[in-house]
Amino acid sequence: MNRRDFAIAMAATPVLAQFAHAATEVVEGTDYLKLQTPMPVAVPGKIEVMEFFGYWCPHCNELEPALEPWVKALPAYVNFRRVPVAWQDAQVPYQKLFYALEAMGVGNDIHPRVYRAVHQQRLRLDNDAAITTFAAAIGVDGAKLAGAMKGFSVSSKLGAANQLAKSYQIDGVPTLVVNGRYVTSPELAKGDVQALRVVDALIQRARPQR
């Protein structure tokens, strides 16, 4: 069984996942890093989990099969946010695409299809023509999508996302941040499923601080 199949199996097996999560002991400096100065969360009163990611990133694509069912199973007291990151001009359209789909109310449904388009179909969604073709293939109004990508709302969210990445000093993706205080990643935790176990433990650690 490869890493992706294992991740899917673990995420789809609640009893095993819960047992694994309960048994996990996480260690600062080994499994996660703790920020000296906590950052504010978007929704006061809820524990926040942020994923800094890029549709263009193969490691983010590898994490997604485990992350998607994990997010759906999160308790109501956890607020999960995705924050797209770009370090090159060619990556900016992917940020805009994420926020445009979100603005159109189809972000959650289309999110995994963007990953498939980029990493399985090998589409480069970094130009208007490619994005219009992709929109037609998934049944989304291409003109409306293009308009949303150029709109003020997307521009504002893009600026906020870039500022968040700068504030957290994000230098690699995927990176997971819990409650503006704890930072981990599949690279740090030594695996995709392991990273989610670490986040589970950090969520519980953050609960008394609510």
pLDDT digits (tens, 9 = 90+) for 190-210: 999 999 999 999 999 998 754
What is the rounded average pLDDT for all residues in the chain?
89
- Beta carbons of 61 and 172 less than 8 angstroms apart: no
Cα 200 to Cα 147: distance, rounded to the nearest angstrom: 38
Can you give the pLDDT at residue 129?
84
Over residues 33-56, the mean pLDDT reads 96
Which tokens is 5 given? 């199949």
CATH topology classification for 1-56+63-85+170-210: Glutaredoxin (3.40.30)
pLDDT category at 11 given cuts 50, 70, 90 is: very low
Tokens for 65? 């099969």
Query: What does the alpha-carbon distance between residue 207 and residue 210 come to, in Å, rounded to a whole number?
Result: 6
pTM to 2 decimal places = 0.86
Mean pLDDT of 84-111: 95
Query: Phi first, then psi: what are they for 52, rounded to 5°?
Result: -85, 125
Higher pLDDT, 102 or 17: 102
Q: Which of 16-30, 118-132, 133-147, 151-165 has the lowest mean pLDDT?
A: 16-30
The answer to whether residue 7 scores a pLDDT higher than 50 is: no
> To the nearest whole percent, how much of the chain has pLDDT over 90?
79
Question: What pLDDT score does 24 carry?
Answer: 55
Task: Report the percentage of the chain scoring pLDDT > 70.
Answer: 87
Q: Report the pLDDT value the prediction gives residue 122, as an integer from 0 to 100.
A: 94
Q: Among 10-24, 37-51, 80-94, which stretch is predicted with the lowest mean pLDDT?
A: 10-24
Which residues make up the CATH 3.40.30.10 domain(s) of the chain? Answer: 1-56+63-85+170-210, 88-167
Tell me yes or no: is domain 88-167 CATH 3.40.50.300. Answer: no
